[in-house]
Amino acid sequence: FFFSFIPMSLLRSSFVLRSALQRAYVARSYATAKASESQDSDLQKLLNASRAGNLEVVESLAKGMKPNRQIYAAVAAAHLANFDWEKAEEYTKMAENSKE
């Protein structure tokens, strides 16, 4: 009875958001794990800024780096920390599709 009042579009958008959040959290976990392994100081700075949610620093550092799964995951995590779900999902997909 209760569900008959909830529009289907609301349910669909809720599912899409939940799916995007789950993938973005996985990307964030990946970036965090890689931060502890990284020897590259710029990459270390990028991953630490990503964990802190410092989007400006993340984007400026990422521009000078060769795109790969770590970079995309770090940018996705920074967008997630700043509640930009669409960008977080976009960069998470890029991380998932990255060959490196």
Summarize pLDDT for 21-50 with one digit per residue, the tens.
677 777 667 666 665 665 667 888 888 888
**What's the pLDDT band for 13 if we cut at 50, 70, 90?**
low
pLDDT for 56: 92
Secondary structure class of 54 (helix, strand, coil): coil
Res 8: pLDDT: 53
Taking the whole predicted model, whether its pTM rises above 0.85 is answered as no
Q: What is the tally of helices (H) and strands (E) in the chain? A: 5, 0
Residue 96 has a pLDDT of 85
- Provide the pLDDT for residue 63: 92
Q: How far apart are CA 11 and CA 56, in angstroms?
A: 33
C-alpha distances (whole Å) from 5 to each of 2, 12, 13, 83, 100 are: 6, 14, 16, 28, 46
